[in-house]
Copies of this chain bind each other. A is one copy, B any other.
Amino acid sequence: MRDMASKTPELWLISTAADLLEMHPQTLRKYERRGLVRPPRTLGSMRVYTRDDIERLRLIKAFVDGAGINLAGVERLLSIAEVVQRIRPLVTDPRGAARADVRRIRGEIDELFRLVGLEDTED
């Protein structure tokens, strides 16, 4: 039996996930093949979507359906999103950025430069 305290289950099979997201199951499989999402494969060889997978798919859907961005673009944007999420806490820190953080921030910004096609060299 499942823990009744949680209102929604923490794991979804593909059809349930697709319903929840209002997406086609085939689309979810395609996205996985493209490497955009990686649902675990426990329970036989079935895909099991976690909460994080669902959130990621929701974001992808917003890019694709909402903004008309293709999968190559989504891929790049997801990479950027990861870097931005790493930077966030370094800057939000209430004591202001410590010197060590500034270094890390600088490194992450360099990574962003690369991801948006701006080389580090200025030439």
Where the two chains meet, the residues of A that have a C-beta atom closer than 8 Å to any C-beta of B are 59, 62-63, 67-70, 72-74, 76-78, 80-81, 84-85, 87-88, 91-92, 96-97, 99, 102, 105-106, 109, 112-113, 116-118
Contact = CB atoms under 8 A, between A and B. Distances in A.
Nearest to A59: B117
Given A63-B117, A70-B73, A116-B84, A105 B105 contact: yes
Tell me how many chains of this kind the complex includes. 2
Pick from A70, A87, A88, A91 the residue with the most CB of B within 10 Å.
A91
A78 B69 CA distance: 13
Given A70-B70, A76-B67, A91-B102, A84 B118 contact: yes
A6 to B, nearest CB: 15
21 contacts: A62-B117, A67-B72, A67-B76, A68-B70, A68-B72, A73-B73, A73-B76, A73-B77, A77-B117, A80-B80, A81-B116, A84-B109, A84-B112, A84-B116, A84-B118, A88-B113, A91-B105, A91-B109, A96-B97, A96-B99, A97-B102
